[in-house]
Chains A and B, each alone.
Chain A
Amino acid sequence: MSNESPLSGNELRERLIELFDLVSQDRSTPEAERELSALLETNEGRREYLSIVHQEVLLENYDSVLSDDLSRDDLEVPVVSQQVVSASSNSNWTLMLGMLSLAVAMVVAVMILMKPAPQVVVVDDSPVNESVVQPSLVVMTQEAGAEFFAEHTPMAGSAMRMEHEYSLVTGQVELKFASGATAILEAPCMFEVASQDLLKLTYGNCSVHAPPGAEGFQVLTPAANVIDLGTRFHVQVTEFGDSNVQVIEGEAQVVPHDQSKSAEPVLTGGTAMRVGRREAKDEEEIAFDDSTYRRTLPDRVVGFTTSGPNRASQLETISVQRGGGVMRYRAGDLIGADVVSFCETGSEKLGNGNLLAPYGYQGDGHELALHDSSLVTGVVNPGGSRIPQASDPVLPGDGVDPSSLTPGMLFRFHKPIVNGPGPDLVVFDLQTTTNPPMGDAFHLLPAKFRDVLKPHTVGRYDIQMTSSAAHRVDEFLLLTNQFRPNLTLQDTFSHDLTRHYPGPRFWALAVGVDLSDLGFAAGESVQELFLQDAADDDDRIDPVFVGGFPAGEPVGLQL
């Protein structure tokens, strides 16, 4: 082993910074890695490298470590007052801290899906001299299409900010409190996590479940305080501040803010009451209605993991809630679907860019129509129709007039998929930031119609651009053939494809589709489905991955 570096001083430093940047940012080459390794063989090289790493880690924690308004000392124990710790790359740790109240298995499971969160609140409700940190233990465990007003949706698994008013504009979120109580909040709604066991609901709907041990959890509304006594209950706060309380199971005590009005009734399962803020009829019994209570978030695609030469080329696993339970499948266990027919009715703007391929691809495109677990390959930009096709699609074939073809694409699954509970298949789409954030709308229809069957339109993806579960994918090639209207699958293939390198970065979005929404009966099998872009804008869907969920539970990957 040599202890002398071929470079020294500033030359060594500058070269190490360059090489470290290349490796750090996924831009390295084998040559760069060999050179870095060679420089680290020497003591001087390693010493210099470690100084660079230390500085880089400190800079990456710029806000929490280096900025003037929050010094490093503030991060050290003991922590004696409420403080907000900005978390950038440091959030790997701070998120962990926020989640320690959950079972370790839950922590690990959520960590698979989570990314750095913008903020974690650290509070201390223990004696000052105890020299410990008490993190916020209120965690957003799940979200379904959640969007907040004027702020990003927190990452699933991240701690909620205390005493911060959240306005949930769309979707639903599930919060888990330190006591074990969970609350599902539905948009539109305004709420605040006031303390470890107190949720302030200003407007909207909230379903609470407090299991044994979580008694005492409270929902504070403009009109009353609803105290859990071991129960499931639902609170609706109207725009006038009235509170409608429905107790589904167990008991809950309702304490009106205006103490002159009445006693503090204890409601039992199957009863309901309204506490108003009006001058008259401040409290009254109302009809019990358990239909508003949410036991779980809707069935949906919850998240997915990827791998690849850089970050996200290959789908590895996918988590989906089916029939209320979250299951995780390996990509290879999904039922693949090949593109067997395709028609794009023609657009000069799109220029027949219908194939996506990884960098370096040299083929004629045939295999890109076949199923694989790549999120950057496939046949894309199919034709569409604002009104979905409601009869058997016309497919290319001998003697078929090209102008009569139904725009869209036919997928054939490798084996029939069975209509089970919740989503039965998943569709992935690629979007960039200037595309519709909800995902490219599309219609899905049976390949063969009968009376009960109908097209189903997807306008909002389960994992959309605003979702923390969306993954940025690796760069890819867009392959185009010569422009031709009424283009079919065969027309897209050529040994003379033009290669384009799209400039913007793209994200993979996903949505689950329930075959029941197309009219298929429970347990019915389907092997072919036709997909059309919804033609609601100039953007077309890029269905880079379509897969069916196998019947039964996945083996070894259930959460």
Chain B
Amino acid sequence: MSTSNSSKRFLALLMQYQLRLTCFVRAAIPNRHDADDVTQTLAATLWEKFDHFEEGSDFEKWALKTARFTILAYYRDKKRSRVCFSEPLVEQVMDSAETESIDLDERADALRHCLNKLPVEHREAFSLRYGDECSNRDAALRLGVDETALSKRLKKIRGMLLTCVEKQLAMPVRGVS
């Protein structure tokens, strides 16, 4: 494969599995900043090693295996400082994350559906917090509400959204209202 075709093929595969890989890394490294750093390293590593990827084989499996090594390297590098999980636990979390059957597209559809069912002011809070990446403090200021109250409310709604998404996913045929 030419370099150009190779990069195009890589881009296509990476785009296809980016959310899956992001979730995998984040599950093993819950700290967002560190997970972002490891994700960047993973992207570079995947591209570097793409020549070794056999066309026709399972890209997801290959990328997850690479992600596993990248994450373990992060934990070993971080041994001097505090890390969130012990190595055996992170292995367990990665095992669970790798073997679970998940359709993120389906989950995103369900989440979008559940978000649309929220009252307007709650949707606005989510849009500010996640869409505009406002801090809780800035979002509270813009909404004219107390920061602590907003923070508690967002946590509660996230729990409710999880329940809603599970119900949506459990329905045999989901309509999107």
Contact = CB atoms under 8 A, between A and B. Distances in A.
Interface of A: 10, 13-14, 17-18, 20-21, 23-26, 28, 30, 33, 36-37, 40-41, 43, 46-47, 49-63, 65-68, 71-73, 75-78, 88-90, 92-93, 96-97, 100-101, 104, 107-108, 111, 116, 126, 130-135, 309, 311
A125 to B, nearest CB: 11
Contacts of A23: 30-31, 84
Contact of B126 (A56, A59, A77): A59
A478 to B, nearest CB: 21
Nearest to B155: A17
A358 to B, nearest CB: 15
B44 A24 contact: no
Contacts of A24: 30-32
Given A50-B100, A104-B47, A97 B33 contact: no
Given A41-B89, A68-B112, A63 B43 contact: no
B14 interface: yes
B32 A58 contact: no
B84 A28 contact: yes
B40 A92 contact: yes
Interface stretch (B54-62, B67-75, B101-109, B142-150): B101-109
B121 interface: no
B86 A100 contact: no
Interface string B86-121: 100100110011001010110111011001000000
Contacts of B108: 58, 65-66, 72
Contacts of A41: 89, 92
A105 B49 CA distance: 13
B159 A89 contact: no
A24 B48 CA distance: 29
Nearest to B111: A58
B12 A131 contact: yes
A71 B112 CA distance: 9
B26 interface: yes
A132 B131 contact: no
B162 interface: yes
For the complex of A and B, the 6 pairs showing the least CB-CB separation, nearest first, are A62-B130, A96-B43, A132-B8, A93-B18, A23-B30, A62-B131
Contact of B12 (A14, A57, A132): A132
Nearest to A54: B23
A107 B23 contact: no
Given A17-B159, A49-B27, A104-B48, A133 B131 contact: no
Contacts of B32: 24-25, 60, 89
Contacts of B66: none
Interface in B12-46: 12, 14-16, 18-19, 22-23, 26-27, 30-33, 36, 39-41, 43-44
A426 to B, nearest CB: 24
A134 B8 CA distance: 7
Given A17-B155, A33-B84, A56 B131 contact: no
A72 B100 contact: no
7 contacts: A50-B23, A51-B162, A61-B22, A90-B18, A131-B12, A133-B8, A133-B12
A254 to B, nearest CB: 31
Contacts of B81: 309
A37 B130 contact: no
Contacts of B18: 90, 93
Contact of B19 (A61, A77, A111): A61
